[in-house]
């Protein structure tokens, strides 16, 4: 079973909540992202329940799925946001997240982004280098403000996940090295427009092993203690995101409770407020990418292909990380075949599944690429002249279009060219 997955067969047709996916494809076309609001809410509740015993505050990491309606669904539950750019801050504010619940992160913030965050009155900015701390101080000074700053520490823990999504290793670009901390503390003493309010880490994504969090949190707690001795009153300990989800039922994710069971006893006695920044955990299994089978073909070796109307331009994870996504036929089939499910883009890496057992569907039928809610639509592109797909949100029997399909006009709207005579 995929976690908090509200996609299920009613009779012989795959549904989201109370809505049949065939009807959605008929009404909105394909490719189409379908998101279950109830699944988003269930994941948030599961997370909150696991960490209930710990005074904390959860900031949804907007980069996993920045659709305004997704952000708003969490905001309405009291969830804050972790944003990574001016554009994400704009989205969070637009979706109705109050600035006091927004944390601004990012390894390369431009001066205008720092200005925007300070003017908006976000809870904290994370500093990822000494130079950036100085830049925040300078810009806050110009605004005659004092900026609340968390320092992102690189805990030098190599979490075992895909090499492209590990971030807490000393080889990586993220965070401030422990060796630089004395200089950081000295700077906080001397710079008049920054206050040290938090210690932060984020060790990677889709981390199955709680011990990595334990190792990194141990380091953060030691730094918290040391900073107390130096007279700093640090309010927040930010553990970051990275909590895992199930993509492949044969490789079920570690339940979030197992992380809580290890972390709560470590942190609770310190009395520090904790911030979590789950992204993937809250959204991955709440959406599917609905796509139509354009053609079936078989090559001379007997290999079968389903050529579908969605591709790496809508969901790049298989191409980028070789990640697994379940593929289900929307109409249930007893008979199955082994096939590659591939997209229309001119790249060999444009596939959703290889050598996979799938229902023996006909051309024109629909497939659902499961667990497409995190790092799916947000990474979509116009490569190959493709239009970004529509997105709908389902809540019970209610359906809302939450993003319109792009048009050809939008593809070229920012381009300038001399008119033809
Ligand atoms: C990406 C990111 C997250 C969210 O990661 P998930 O694996 O999606 O939970 C949280 N915090 C920071 C700083 C990030 O860069």
Q: 359 lies in a domain?
A: yes
Q: What is the pLDDT of residue 175?
A: 82
Q: 48 lies in a domain?
A: no
The domain boundary residue, chosen from 278, 307, 332: 278
Q: 81 lies in a domain?
A: no
10 Å Cβ neighbour count for 389?
26
Residue with tokens 């939450």: 402
Point out the residues that are catalytic. Answer: 346
Secondary structure class of 131 (helix, strand, coil)? helix
Q: Walk along the chain (421 residues) and give the pLDDT tens digit of each residue.
A: 788 889 999 999 999 999 999 999 999 999 999 999 999 999 999 999 999 999 999 999 999 999 999 999 999 999 999 999 999 999 999 999 999 999 999 889 999 999 999 999 999 999 999 999 999 999 999 999 999 999 999 988 877 666 656 666 666 777 888 889 999 999 999 999 999 999 999 999 999 999 999 999 999 999 999 999 999 999 999 999 999 999 999 999 999 999 999 999 999 999 999 999 999 999 999 999 999 999 999 999 999 999 999 999 999 999 999 999 999 999 999 999 999 999 999 999 999 999 999 999 999 999 999 999 999 999 999 999 999 999 999 999 999 999 999 999 999 999 999 887 7
How far apart are alpha carbons 313 and 14 in whole angstroms? Answer: 24
- Cβ atoms of 145 and 193 within 8 Å: the answer is yes
Do 109 and 161 fall into the same domain? Answer: yes
Q: 88 lies in a domain?
A: no
What spacing in Å lies between the alpha carbon of 320 and ligand 1's midpoint? 17
Q: Which of 104, 175, 241, when mutated, tests ligand 1's pocket best, judged by the most ligand atoms within 8 Å of its CB?
A: 241
Q: 113 lies in a domain?
A: yes
Q: Which residue owns the Cα nearest ligand 1 atom 10? A: 241
| Cβ of 280 below 6 Å from ligand 1 | yes
How far apart are alpha carbons 370 and 7 in whole angstroms? Answer: 9
Do 271 and 124 fall into the same domain? Answer: yes
| Cβ of 43 below 6 Å from ligand 1 | no
- Cβ atoms of 155 and 214 within 8 Å: the answer is no
Q: What is the pLDDT of residue 174?
A: 77
Do 261 and 153 fall into the same domain? Answer: yes
| Cβ of 240 below 6 Å from ligand 1 | yes
Q: 257 lies in a domain?
A: yes
The domain boundary residue, chosen from 258, 278, 298: 278
Q: 323 lies in a domain?
A: yes
| Cβ of 152 below 6 Å from ligand 1 | no
- The DSSP symbol for 91 reads H
The answer to whether the peptide bond before residue 226 is cis (omega within 30 degrees of 0) is: no
Strand partners, 238: 200, 275
How far apart are alpha carbons 327 and 410 in whole angstroms? Answer: 30
Do 383 and 292 fall into the same domain? Answer: yes
| Cβ of 238 below 6 Å from ligand 1 | no
Q: 245 lies in a domain?
A: yes
Do 240 and 208 fall into the same domain? Answer: yes
Do 329 and 379 fall into the same domain? Answer: yes
What spacing in Å lies between the alpha carbon of 281 and ligand 1's midpoint? 10
Distances (CA, A) of 267 to 44, 150, 232, 244, 391: 21, 18, 18, 21, 40
Do 254 and 191 fall into the same domain? Answer: yes
Do 383 and 268 fall into the same domain? Answer: no
What is the number of alpha carbons within 13 Å of residue 411 lying toward its C-beta?
Answer: 12
Tokens, residue 327: 């593929």
Do 185 and 307 fall into the same domain? Answer: no
What's the CATH code of the domain at 245?
A: 3.20.20.10
Of 63, 283, 244, the residue nearest 161 (C-alpha): 244
Task: State which ligand 1 atom lies nearest to the alpha carbon of 242.
Answer: 7
Tokens, residue 114: 């720092």
| Cβ of 159 below 6 Å from ligand 1 | no
| Cβ of 82 below 6 Å from ligand 1 | yes
Task: State which ligand 1 atom lies nearest to the alpha carbon of 375.
Answer: 8
Do 223 and 365 fall into the same domain? Answer: no
How far apart are alpha carbons 310 and 113 in whole angstroms? Answer: 34
What spacing in Å lies between the alpha carbon of 322 and ligand 1's midpoint? 19
What are the φ/ψ torsions at residue 84 (nearest 5 degrees)? -125, 5
Q: What is the pLDDT of residue 285?
A: 98
For β-strands 236-240 and 194-200, DSSP reports them as: parallel
What spacing in Å lies between the alpha carbon of 84 and ligand 1's midpoint? 9
Angle at 213 between CA 377 and CA 195, to 5 degrees: 85
How far apart are alpha carbons 174 and 349 in whole angstroms? Answer: 28
What's the CATH code of the domain at 341?
A: 2.40.37.10
Q: Which domain holds residue 315?
A: 7-36+284-412
Do 249 and 332 fall into the same domain? Answer: no
Tokens, residue 414: 């920012």
Task: State which ligand 1 atom lies nearest to the alpha carbon of 280.
Answer: 8
Of 267, 190, 259, the residue nearest 236 (C-alpha): 267
10 Å Cβ neighbour count for 92?
31
The domain boundary residue, chosen from 278, 305, 320: 278
Q: Which residue owns the Cα nearest ligand 1 atom 3? A: 241
| Cβ of 278 below 6 Å from ligand 1 | yes
Q: Please give the tally of structural domains in the chain.
A: 2
């Amino acid at each position: 079973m995929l976690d908090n997955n509200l996609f299920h067969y009613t009779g012989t047709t795959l549904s989201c909540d109370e809505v049949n996916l065939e009807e959605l494809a008929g009404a909105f076309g394909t490719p189409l992202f379908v998101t279950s609001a109830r699944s988003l809410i269930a994941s948030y509740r599961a997370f909150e329940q696991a960490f209930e015993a710990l005074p904390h505050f959860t900031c949804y990491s907007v980069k996993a799925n920045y659709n305004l309606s997704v952000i708003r669904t969490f905001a309405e539950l009291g969830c804050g946001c972790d944003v990574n750019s001016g554009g994400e801050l704009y989205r969070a504010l637009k979706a109705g997240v109050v600035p006091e619940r927004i944390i601004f992160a990012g390894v390369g913030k431009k001066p205008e982004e720092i200005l925007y965050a300070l003017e908006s009155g976000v809870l904290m900015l994370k500093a990822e280098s000494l130079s950036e701390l100085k830049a925040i101080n300078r810009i806050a000074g110009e605004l005659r403000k004092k900026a609340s700053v968390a320092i992102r520490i690189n805990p030098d823990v190599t979490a075992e996940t895909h090499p492209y999504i590990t971030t807490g290793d000393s080889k990586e670009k993220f965070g401030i090295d422990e060796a630089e901390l004395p200089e950081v503390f000295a700077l906080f003493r001397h710079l008049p427009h920054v206050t040290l309010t938090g210690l932060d880490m984020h060790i990677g994504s889709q981390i199955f092993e709680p011990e990595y969090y334990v190792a990194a949190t141990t380091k953060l707690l030691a730094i918290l203690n040391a900073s107390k001795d130096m007279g700093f009153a640090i309010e927040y300990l930010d553990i970051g995101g990275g909590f895992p989800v199930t993509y492949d039922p044969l490789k079920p994710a570690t339940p979030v409770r197992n992380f809580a069971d290890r972390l709560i006893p470590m942190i609770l006695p310190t009395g520090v407020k904790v911030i979590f920044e789950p992204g993937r955990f809250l959204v991955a299994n709440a959406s599917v990418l609905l796509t139509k089978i354009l053609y079936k073909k078989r090559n001379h070796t007997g290999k079968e292909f389903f050529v579908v109307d969605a591709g790496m331009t809508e969901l790049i994870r298989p191409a980028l990380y070789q990640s697994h996504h379940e593929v289900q036929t929307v109409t249930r089939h007893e008979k199955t075949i082994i096939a590659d499910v591939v997209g229309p883009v001119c790249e060999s890496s444009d596939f959703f599944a290889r050598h996979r057992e799938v229902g023996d569907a006909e051309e024109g039928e629909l497939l659902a690429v499961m667990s497409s809610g995190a790092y799916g639509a947000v990474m979509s592109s116009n490569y190959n002249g493709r239009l970004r797909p529509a997105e709908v949100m389902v809540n019970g029997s209610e359906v809302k279009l939450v993003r319109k399909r792009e048009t050809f006009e939008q593809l070229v709207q920012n381009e300038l060219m001399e008119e033809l005579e």
